[in-house]
Amino acid sequence: MTEKEKSYAEMLYQPGDPELAADRDRTVSRLYEYNRMNPLDREGRRKAIAELFGRVGSNCTVEQPFFCTYGYNIVVGDDFFLNVNGKLMDSGKITIGNHVMIAPNVCIITEEHAMDVEQRMAGLEYTHPVTIGDHVWICAGAMILPGVTIGAGSIIGAGSVVTKDIPAYSVAVGNPARVIKHYDPEKQTWVKI
């Protein structure tokens, strides 16, 4: 297996691999150009993001500055909005649904270093994919950690650190984030837990 294939399989892999290092260098160059583009050149920015990401739905907005690791591991649906200082650390796959809004200073992370000291000192790491469902709102300064799935219709409160899966139609806040409300379809309202 290549190091990239190992990373997708959530196995210990070497991110210093020459192929991966070259991919990151290409991404850094593209991000440098993207973040220097005229903010009013919305069509040019959309085109640049469509070339950087693995797949982009219609009406995708990624504000500047923006940072990602590779770009090609990011898939976003229709009507996606990522506000300023977004960081999508996509050594692993990041899949984001339709109608998702992400506020400023949000970080989504797929990689983690090895727990074993010798492996960590050798630079080895793992990746775990992150999945975000449709109609999710992630508020300012939230951090989504490796392996997390956020269910459709959920809200992640400002400054929250999401360490575990969040069920659909939930409001989660805190560090670590915990669900404090869920949507009751029978009552058609949010209910405190």
75: left (phi over 0), alpha (psi -120 to 50) or beta: beta
Q: Is the peptide bond before 176 cis (omega within 30 degrees of 0)?
A: yes
Q: Are 92 and 7 in contact (CB under 8 A)?
A: yes
Catalytic member of 99, 113, 135, 182: 113
The yes-or-no answer on residue 113 being catalytic is yes
CA 163/CA 149 separation, integer angstroms = 10
CA 66/CA 168 separation, integer angstroms = 27
Q: Are 74 and 80 in contact (CB under 8 A)?
A: no
pLDDT tens series, the chain, 193 aa:
999 999 999 999 999 999 999 999 999 999 999 999 999 999 999 999 999 999 999 999 999 999 999 999 999 999 999 999 999 999 999 999 999 999 999 999 999 999 999 999 999 999 999 999 999 999 999 999 999 999 999 999 999 999 999 999 999 999 999 999 999 888 889 899 8
CA 5/CA 96 separation, integer angstroms = 21
Q: Are 63 and 84 in contact (CB under 8 A)?
A: yes
pTM for the full predicted model? 0.96
Residue 97: exposure state from Cβ atoms within 10 A (0-12, 13-18, ≥19): buried
Write out the two tokens for 116.
């074993």
